[in-house]
Amino acid sequence: MCGRYAMETLEAQFEAEAQALIQPRFNIAPTTAVPVVRNGPSGRVIVLQTWGLIPSWSRDPALSARLANARAETAADKPSFRGPFRHTRCLIPADGFYEWRAGTPKQPYFIHGAQGEPLALAGLWDRWQGPEGARESCTILTTTPNALMAPIHDRMPVILDRPGQDLWLAAGTATEVLQALLRPCPETWLRLHPVDPRVGKVANDASSLIASYAPGGSPLTPIGPQA
């Protein structure tokens, strides 16, 4: 996933109060901290949480790396996710995300909002109490791909529009309404382009990673609507 943030943009976009300093990031990987929009005591807040859910009942925080994503089709029933699905849903803002198209070599793509706007990814969060204190963590819900994403991968994040965001965060939203939100977004919401394979190494973290890239200076075959 990729997250590149400006504090004012996030606060205005998600009508939330930032309670953490959000640094620009271009190659966020599971087990690192990501900005999360969740409900606070007096409104929405933006906090940093570990990407990779640690269930509150878990004895092993190392489980986090394996729970970076939750399948939308089963999240309401899986033991690790069903509590957060009912009580602690969140939004995970991102300027875009990466996915790799199969081939030799595999080619990474950057998928982002059609108008350059931050994406609101549907997420769940939980609070785990360890010997050194509480730790909040989150997971990103994934669904089947839309027409733009299907040639690249068989899953994509659940992306919500403004009405969907409000329903997802509201405490009283019925389960059947929540389930109806967990579908692939329209392909017109997104654009994509190939990016430098250096993004495959987590240590690389620079704005150049999200720029359009063509090996040897020759353009790659585009996928889906680009205009």
Question: What are the sequence ranges of the domains in the chain?
Answer: 7-217
Query: Residue 90 catalytic?
Result: no
Q: What pLDDT is recorded for position 166?
A: 97
Sheet harboring 190-194: ordered strands across? 96-101, 107-113, 190-194
Query: Residue 2 catalytic?
Result: yes
Q: What pLDDT is recorded for position 8?
A: 56
Classify domain 7-217 by CATH number: 3.90.1680.10
Q: What pLDDT is recorded for position 10?
A: 81
Q: What pLDDT is recorded for position 107?
A: 92
Q: What pLDDT is recorded for position 20?
A: 87
CA 93 to centroid of chain Cα atoms: 7
Q: What pLDDT is recorded for position 84?
A: 98
Low-confidence ranges of the chain (pLDDT < 50): 1-2, 4-7, 218-227
The answer to whether the predicted template modeling score (pTM) of the entire model surpasses 0.85 is yes
- Looking at residue 21, its amino acid is L
Contacts of range 172-177, beta carbons closer than 8 Å, 24 or more positions apart: 175/76, 175/86
- Looking at residue 17, its amino acid is E
Q: Kind of pairing, strands 89-94 and 119-130? A: antiparallel
Exactly one of 99, 136, 138, 185 is catalytic; name it. Answer: 99
CB proximity list for 130: less than 8 A, separation 6 or greater: 61
Residue pair 71/53 in contact (Cβ under 8 Å)? The answer is no
Lookup: tokens for 122: 């549907």
Exactly one of 2, 90, 138, 185 is catalytic; name it. Answer: 2
Q: What pLDDT is recorded for position 219?
A: 43
